[in-house]
Amino acid sequence: MPAHISAYPAEPPYALATPRFPFPGLSALAGRAQVGGARESILGCIVAARLAAGTVPPTALEPALLRERADAARAWLSTQPIEQKLRALLQRAINATGTGDRAAVAAELDAVRTGAAEVLDGAGAAELLRLAERVRR
């Protein structure tokens, strides 16, 4: 093979960097949780967190897209076996992301973290706390 041709994959800046999931603690927790309540509750937290992350510059999404994503998340949430109190907190967080009001999003994320304390571990709760702080800035 000629010296200028490589059998190895390209590395940046010629290729995209490997994407990283922004909430590894929550996703690991969901992977370990029992199906039928705890896992779905944690997945609800992940959905709310992903939507909230869409409100943070410099990668903040357009208001119409935030509303569209919130609508889809509300439909998904209505089908999940999540305890009613946590469902209401997740619903409020999802609704806040649809408005783009970052102060409201941060407050609702804090409420979700507190309301989901029974199913969250330290890493998952810390990720929600860090995200709420980023949203507030």
59-107 pLDDT tens trace: 899 999 999 999 999 999 999 999 999 999 999 999 999 999 999 999 9
N residues, the chain: 137
Based on its alpha-carbon atoms, the radius of gyration of the chain, rounded to whole angstroms, reads 18
Residue in the structure block whose two tokens are 């994959």:
9
Structure tokens at 21: 């999931």
Q: Is the pLDDT of residue 17 over 80?
A: no
- d(CA 75, CA 42) in angstroms, rounded, equals 17
pLDDT for res 15: 76
Instruction: Tell me the one-letter amino acid at 65.
Output: L
Residue 16 is classified by DSSP as P
**pTM to 2 decimal places:** 0.87
pLDDT for res 3: 53
- Lowest-confidence range among 8-12, 20-24, 25-29? 8-12
pLDDT for res 1: 47
Is the peptide bond prior to 13 cis by the omega test (within 30 degrees of 0)?
yes
Q: Where are the domains of the chain?
A: 36-136
Structure tokens at 114: 């507190």
Distant-in-sequence, close-in-space partners of 86: CB < 8 Å, separation ≥ 6: 41, 44, 112, 115, 116
Q: Is the pLDDT of residue 11 over 70?
A: no
Q: What is the mean pLDDT of residues 28-40?
A: 94
